[in-house]
Amino acid sequence: MAYRIAEIELTEPLTPIALTPEQAGLAILARWKGRLAGFHMASAAPGYIFSTDEIQALCAKRFGRRLIALEVEAALAQRWATDADAPVPSLCIAICTKDRAQRLARLLNSLMPVIGASRFRVTEVLVVDNASVDSATRDVVAGFSGLRYVFEPCAGLDFARNAAVRHATGNLLAFLDDDVVVDRDWLDGLFNAWRGCPDAGGFTGLVLPYRLDTEAQVQFELRGGFGRGFEPKTFHAASADNPLHPVGSGVIGAGCNMAFDRSLLLSLGGFDEALDTGAPLPGGGDLDIFYRVLRSGRAMVYEPRYAVYHEHRETLPQLRRQYWTWGLGFMAFLAKSRRSDPALKRKQSAILRWWLLDKLADLGVAACRLRIDELRFLSAELWGGLVGMAGEYDRSLQRVQKIREQSS
Amino acid sequence: MSSASWDIRHVDLSDRQPAVAANPRPLFVVFWWGVLPLGVRIYLPEQLPLRRSELGALTAELASAQLAARSPRFCGPARATYDGKPLLLVPADTLQEGGDLLKQLDDFAETSPISAAPLSVVICTRDRPEALEHCLTALMMQTSRADQIVVVDNSTHRSAEAVSARFPDIDYLHEPRPGLSVARNAGVRASKGALIAFTDDDVEPSPTWTMEVVRAFSSAGVDAMTGLVLPARLDTPAQCYFQFKMGGFGSECVPLIFDRRFLDETKATGAQVWRIGAGANMAFRRSVFQRVGLFDERLGAGASGCSEDSELWYRLIADGGACLFEPRAFVVHHHREQWPELRRQVRAYMKGHVSALFVQAARHRHGGNIRRIFRQLPGYFARSAFLALRDGGGARRFQILWDEIVGWLCGLQYAFRPRWRARPVEMPASPNLAQSARQSSL
């Protein structure tokens, strides 16, 4: 089961869209005057042809109101008195990569043209090679001009991110994972987010699917994927709408596309190297840094224009493993926060109960409806969570200590 | 969250430099575009002051809903979906034409004066003279005064008489038979205007309320209207719980049309007519009562508990009428201050709701109402129990859930009272019209 991804510019006339016999649905990525305006997945029979009327009706229902909002936003910029803009910060872009030279090249190909047109002063693009086993990564970097290559011998994503924090220059530091490709509006989006809230401690952006060619990729996206919607949001240390905030920091964004005030990262002591270590604990690092930024009193801004396309897991076993790591990473993060930030003890306990009951209820519903894949995803996540609760963070601390000793 | 006390602020986003400033206490903010209410949002002190990015995103979101729902160029006037949300379909080519959207919003917020003369305002009250005084004071300060204000005193000892006498030109009426529906019907009989508006003694109408009520009827197709009901204060846990956890009297701020289509689309599963509005802020054309009858005296506070208003809307839209929710007409309501009062109110609400469902099922033969009593409501209780368990929130949520279940059980008594269910609705005394109306209500 695959979905066809169709990018539609809504200011232009629509045309029918035909699916191939392998495609069981259409994913519309809508733009309005070049700006990302919405994403919607519609299932259909293989080989189905969506007529222009059908596409128009879908767009009217799913994106119509958003289009008005985009127009209003533009008009407001004219109408509202503008504050004096803060001086534009400089920006360093860091890509942490490990043994994925091809994907790195793909990302760099999408990134370089975007940087050329930036309103930020981009100080450098830093590729942090996270203990790759061969020289392929170095070779790719050599093929582009103006990149800076840093080798981080300690294997683990947050080791690599901390290496970036140490080596980077510039006021803002944007992180990209190697399995994404940036949207042409990516840097403009980040600029927009910064200008709307210059005192924010961090920024996150939209993560769209790079392709939907396999069952696993479609299922992941249908279950919500990394999507956080097309409305910008600002997060603070507390929220009137969500009493568990900021402990449930997953709503803020995803680690594959985030940026921070670099001096804030330095003062927070960087990323927690015992999280996001790659196997066996490949998660939780982003939750932890979002949480700590908010707890430091600085805001986090989610901006949909600051968008990347992520290559989702290809096979169902990989996807199940990803859900397992979500459960594991979240619980490891929670275990850490309970220790390091007892002031929010009540919220931390409440979210534990919330998470368990929520997953169990979903599991019950999936079981009643005999949705086998769903059951397996949920049980993987739940199992990961239970393992995470059972001392995974401490085990990870010990492993990380060993890695540090080996490399020094 | 619901234990703190909240400040209420009003912010006009059509200003050149709107702002929501820092505040030591949590804020309940009502956002406006001139006289148009756009929406409400809540903020903790940690979230304030609002950044420019937040205000921009929020304004875009709220204004887009308002434009889509009001502008005939998009999909205005908006129809209501089953759950009382606007159905907003905006084809991209309608935006291609360009045009200044903010100017259009300014036009919608225009306030040409309109005379409230055709309006009779009926206030039913029972032993709350102090609250009534505030309500009448607000009615005296209207931009355009209604021709007639009727106070229906539903107390045994005429407790509202002295207060009413202190205000000029009030038609005071004593209706000793208990029940809000009985009192409202007495008010209808005493009223003279072509439009009859209702409000309650615990409500304070905004200064433009009467004008906006009359304006809502400017389209001939509108038979009834409801308006926005905002909290007057959020000082006690009971008031906060009612507003935040139970949704208050709704906070939707775009106009909505509820008509026969709304009923047809949803009657199989029980049309959610209570989404139309609140009895604290509603009005009807006089002809509605002649068409479909008066308030059902079996229902409402003092009788079965509540829902006499929504049952009348049900009859009206089943008869082909249309009800417009127009948030421009807004009032503030004093929620119950004390927890025991709120719990009593919740029980009465649920009991009244069930009784109205029985009445609607019997009158219109719409099985969806019965389905709601025996399937959806138990499902709702189960879900509420799960959410209370999952989200926490302490004993309060379980107490309220318990009260809802008790109210539901009390309401089930009407299942065993076939003669109660079969009673026809009372028509206003106007023989020539009553005849045709009776036919249409059957």
Q: What pLDDT, in 10s, does the model give residues A206-241?
A: 999 999 999 999 999 999 999 899 999 999 999 999
Residue A118's pLDDT is 87
Question: What's the mean pLDDT in A315-327?
Answer: 96
pLDDT at B437 over 80: no
Q: Does the structure show a pLDDT above 70 at A205?
A: yes
**Dist. CA A404–CA A124, nearest whole Å:** 27
Cβ contacts of A239 on chain B, cutoff 8 Å:
44, 47
pLDDT at site B256: 95
* Contact yes or no for A197 and B389 at CB 8 A: no
C-alpha B381: how far from chain center: 23
The mean pLDDT of A100-111, rounded to a whole number, is 96
8 Å CB contact of B91 and A196: no
Calculate what percentage of chain A has a pLDDT beyond 90.
92
Structural contact between residues B65 and B254, judged by C-beta atoms closer than 8 angstroms: yes
Helix (H) or strand (E) holding B189: helix B180-190
Interface of B to A at Cβ within 8 Å reads: 1, 16-18, 26, 42-44, 46-47, 51-54, 56-57, 59-61, 63-65, 67-68, 74, 88-92, 95-96, 100-102, 386, 389-392
pTM: 0.94
Give the closest of A60, A76, A237 to B90, CB-based: A60
pLDDT of residue B430: 60
Please tell me the predicted confidence (pLDDT) of residue B429.
Answer: 75
Contact B53 A234 (CB under 8 A): yes
Q: What is d(CA A217, CA A222) in angstroms, rounded to the nearest whole number?
A: 9
pLDDT at B435 exceeding the cut of 60: no
With 80 as the cut, is the pLDDT of residue B434 above it? no
* Confidence at A282, pLDDT banded by 50, 70, 90: confident
Which of A228, A236, A345, A356 to probe the B interface (max B CBs under 10 A)? A236
Average pLDDT value for chain B: 92
More confidently predicted of A347 and A84: A347
Of B92, B102, B392, the CB nearest to A350: B392
Residues 6+ apart with CB under 8 A from A221: A3, A27, A41, A209, A212, A227, A312
Given a cut of 60, whether residue B439 has pLDDT beyond it is no
Lowest mean pLDDT across A75-79, A380-384, B39-43: A75-79
Q: Taking 60 as the threshold, does the pLDDT of residue A301 lie above it?
A: yes
Which among A71, A197, A237 has the least Cβ separation from residue B46?
A237
B36-43: strand order across its sheet: B7-12, B27-33, B36-43
Helix, strand, coil distribution of chain B in percent, nearest 5: 45, 20, 35
Interchain pair A196, B60: CB under 8 A: no
Query: pLDDT band at residue B438, thresholds of 50, 70 and 90?
Result: very low
C-beta of residue A238 within 8 angstroms of C-beta of residue A245: yes
Pairwise CA distance, residues A276 & A263, whole Å: 22
Identify the closest residue of chain B to A243 by CA–CA distance: B1
- B96·A11 Cβ contact <8 A: yes
pLDDT band at B421 (very low <50, low <70, confident <90, very high): confident
Residue B436 banded pLDDT, cuts 50, 70, 90 = very low
Over chain A, what HEC string results?
CEEEEEEEECCCCCCCEECCCCEEEEEEEEEECCEEEEEEEEECCCCCEECHHHHHHHHHHHCHHHHHHHHHHHHHHHHCCCCCCCCCCEEEEEEEECCCHHHHHHHHHHHHHHHHCCCCEEEEEEEEEECCCCCHHHHHHHCCCCEEEEEECCCCHHHHHHHHHHHCCCCEEEEEECCEEECCCHHHHHHHHHHHCCCCCEEEEEEEECCCCCHHHHHHHHCCCCCCCCCCEEECCCCCCCCCCCCCHHHHCCCCEEEEEHHHHHHHCCCCCCCCCCCCCCCCHHHHHHHHHHHCCCCEEEEEEEEEEECCCCCHHHHHHHHHHHHHHHHHHHHHHHHHCHHHHHHHHHHHHHHHHHHHHHHHHHHHCCCHHHHHHHHHHHHHHHHHHHHHHHHHHHHHHHHHHHHC
Residue with tokens 């030591």: B24
Q: What is the band of B151 on the pLDDT scale with cuts at 50, 70, 90?
A: very high
Across residues A379-402, what is the average pLDDT?
Answer: 95
Supply the mean pLDDT for chain A.
95
* Residue closest to B253 by CA, chosen among B36, B41, B87, B79: B36
Sort out which chain A residues have CB atoms less than 8 A from B386's CB and list them: 357, 361
The Cα B219–Cα B209 span in angstroms is 18
Quote the minimal CA–CA distance from B390 to chain A in Å: 5
Band of residue A307 on the pLDDT scale cut at 50, 70, 90: very high
Q: What angle do CA B343, B347, B352 make, to 5 degrees?
A: 145
Average pLDDT over residues A28-39: 96
ipTM of the prediction greater than 0.85, yes or no: yes
Reported residue count of chain B is 442
Mention every residue, 6+ apart, whose C-beta is less than 8 A from residue B174: B153, B158, B161
Q: What is the mean pLDDT of residues B146-153?
A: 96
Torsion of CA A337, A338, A341, A347, to 10 degrees: 100
Residue B73 backbone zone (phi > 0: left; psi -120 to 50: alpha; other: beta): alpha
Task: At B275, list the tokens.
Answer: 């989404």
CB contact set of A46 (below 8 Å; sequence gap of 6+): A19, A20, A21, A22, A23, A24
Q: Which range, of A81-85, A242-246, A314-318, B85-89, averages the lowest pLDDT?
A: A81-85
State pLDDT tens for residues B87-129. 999 988 888 877 889 999 999 998 889 999 899 999 999 999 9
Quick one: tokens of B195? 């439009």
Q: Which two tokens stand for residue B13?
A: 């986003």
- How far is A136 from A126, CA to CA, in rounded Å? 16
Mutation choice for B interface testing from A58, A65, A234, A301 by most B CBs within 10 A: A65
Contacts of residue B61, defined as CB under 8 A and 6 or more positions apart, other chains included, come to A69, A231
Q: Which of A63, A76, A239 sits opposite B56 (nearest CB)?
A: A76
Q: What is the pLDDT of residues A107-118, one digit of tens each?
A: 999 999 999 888
Give residue-wise pLDDT tens across range B248-303: 999 899 999 999 999 998 888 889 999 999 999 999 999 999 999 999 999 998 88
